[in-house]
Amino acid sequence: MKKSIFAIAAATAFTGAAQAQSSVSVYGILDVGYIGANASVRGVGNANPANAGLNNSSGYPVNQGGNYNQFGSSAESTSRIGFRGTEDLGGGLAAFFTVEFGLQPNNAQVMDTGVGQNRQTFVGVRQKGLGEMSFGTQYTSIHNAAAATDPGQLNNMMGNVIYDKAAGLSSTAAGSAMNGGTLLGFGGQQNNTSYTVRSTNMLRIATETMGGLKGNAFYVLNSANTSQQQINPVSANSSRAGSTGGQAQNYGWGLGLDFTYQKAFITANYQSFVNRTAGVSFDISANTILTGAPAAGYYGAGGAAFGTNVTDNQQYFAGTYDFGILKAYAQYVSRKVISQLDSSVYSQRTATQIGVRGFVSPKVETWLSGGIGKVQGFGYSAYDTVANAGGTALGTNTSRASFNGWQIGSNYWLSKRTNLYTIYGMQSTSNMTINYQAAGSSTAVANQPTSYKASNYAIGVRHTF
């Protein structure tokens, strides 16, 4: 009996010692309040089907817009809950993990564990004096750099041209889907079109800071090779054959370098993602009549590839300087998506932004930012009902637009974990033009410039735990 008691006591002691070397914590953010927004878009109608979302064949002006109000969430920070832990393995080596989900405070299902709400899930090891390595769903190099150099701290409101979001306003209402016939969306805003935020299937490596320098890199890998088979094409000419399957490749890589010197901080980052999907490829001519719309992707001249085959190159440069009473910010982002089937088919967005952030009193923190940018592209459009009435013809369109935005916000800190906030942002897109030319036609259709304006405002409370 005594031996059993001693054995239990010893086991408990060893278990306690092991647990002392580990730690697990729960953390999160709850952000709720009032969110309002309004948006309007104006275009001049013409017979161009590539701009059917804004125009009509009569040539009359077309206006769309609306006002939106709600008690919503995640205006300043996305609500979330997470679990993180570390284990000391000895000799300066440690294991660590993070599991983080998005929260939806105003939905019946507050936590959705689906793919869309998996914010971060990774595990890795860290060596003191050297760095760390981790696998899983993780933030990209650019997003980590932007989090450290954005005056609005990557809030979810309009007016930030680097991290373009729109709280309380659907993407369609905000204009991103109003111009579906082009490669660009409407002005390249509202859906964080600037860069890739996170990725699954990622290996990430980061060094410790040495001499003011800190580096990081990642590699994403998710590829497959499947068999092919003969199939019937979805076209009016059912005698033509196509193929499905083949090699599907999804991979990417990124590099980042941070430099800190006294009160100055500079970061430079580059990342690239490649998507090669065999999809379904048909041997069709330019005037083949299709019974269904092509899948999303970019199309090559003289035919169509029903799949997404693109290279997505992104770069981000930024710097901050702390003057004491406020911190100054400067940012630049560029993203270019290029078709692997035809390198002349592309979509590109660039933006520049400056801002300041600081405390005007011990409890009141404010920030202000403003930026400009442009978006342009050249590519193939899938439909031309005018040139090929009742059917489909591949054609080309060239799109260009300029945009600007600004944002002002303030936090009133009730404690280190709880604050009240107000945010107002405004943005507009102007000088948007589309030149469209049907396949086999020498006549180009020029669309009149369109304009888009929107504002976003919120009052709420945020609590971190």
User: How do the pLDDT tens digits run along the chain, 465 residues long?
Assistant: 444 443 434 344 334 444 445 899 999 999 999 999 988 776 654 444 444 333 444 444 556 677 889 999 999 999 999 999 999 999 999 999 999 999 988 877 777 655 457 899 999 999 999 999 999 999 999 999 999 999 999 999 999 999 988 887 654 444 433 333 332 333 344 457 789 999 999 999 999 999 999 999 999 998 776 554 444 444 444 444 444 455 567 889 999 999 999 999 999 999 999 887 654 433 333 333 233 333 333 333 333 333 467 788 999 999 999 999 999 999 999 998 887 766 777 778 899 999 999 999 999 999 999 999 988 777 654 433 333 333 344 455 667 778 899 999 999 999 999 999 999 999 888 766 666 555 555 555 555 556 778 899 999 999 999
Which amino acid is located at 306 in the chain?
F
| 8 Å CB contact between 79 and 105 | yes
CA 303 → CA 244, 288, 345, 387, 427, distances in Å? 16, 9, 14, 17, 38
By C-alpha distance, which of 251, 298, 312, 305 is closest to 278? Answer: 305
Report the C-alpha gap between 320 and 12 in whole angstroms: 51
Q: How many helices (H) and strands (E) does the chain have?
A: 3, 21
Q: What is the pLDDT of residue 436?
A: 58
Q: What is the pLDDT of residue 323?
A: 96
Q: What is the pLDDT of residue 247?
A: 59
| 8 Å CB contact between 252 and 219 | yes
187's CB contacts (< 8 A; 6+ apart) are 175, 375, 401, 403, 429, 432, 452
In order, the DSSP letters of 335-375 are EEEEESS-TT-EEEEEEEEEEEEEESSSSEEEEEEEEEEEE
Strand residue runs (E) in 76-212: 80-90, 93-102, 118-127, 131-139, 198-207
Q: What is the pLDDT of residue 176?
A: 39
Chain mean position to CA 251: 17
| 8 Å CB contact between 458 and 168 | yes
Residue 421 tokens read as 């906030």
CA 384 → CA 229, 297, 396, 436, distances in Å? 31, 17, 10, 10
Domain extents for the chain? Answer: 36-71+140-464
Length of the chain equals: 465
**Residue 111 DSSP label:** B
Q: What is the pLDDT of residue 96?
A: 98
Report the C-alpha gap between 7 and 139 in whole angstroms: 46
Report the C-alpha gap between 375 and 428 in whole angstroms: 13
Report the C-alpha gap between 143 and 331 in whole angstroms: 13
Please report the sign of the dihedral spanned by the C-alpha atoms of residue 107, residue 112, residue 116, residue 118: positive
Q: What is the pLDDT of residue 451?
A: 73
Chain mean position to CA 412: 29
Q: What is the pLDDT of residue 409?
A: 98
By C-alpha distance, which of 442, 416, 459, 454 is closest to 159? Answer: 454
Backbone φ/ψ region at 7: left (φ over 0), alpha (ψ -120 to 50), beta: alpha
Q: What is the pLDDT of residue 375?
A: 81
By C-alpha distance, which of 51, 40, 106 is closest to 435? Answer: 51
Report the C-alpha gap between 204 and 136 in whole angstroms: 9
163's CB contacts (< 8 A; 6+ apart) are 146, 150, 152, 154, 155, 192, 194
Report the C-alpha gap between 256 and 215 in whole angstroms: 6
Residue written as tokens 């009549």?
A: 289
CATH architecture of 36-71+140-464: Beta Barrel (2.40)
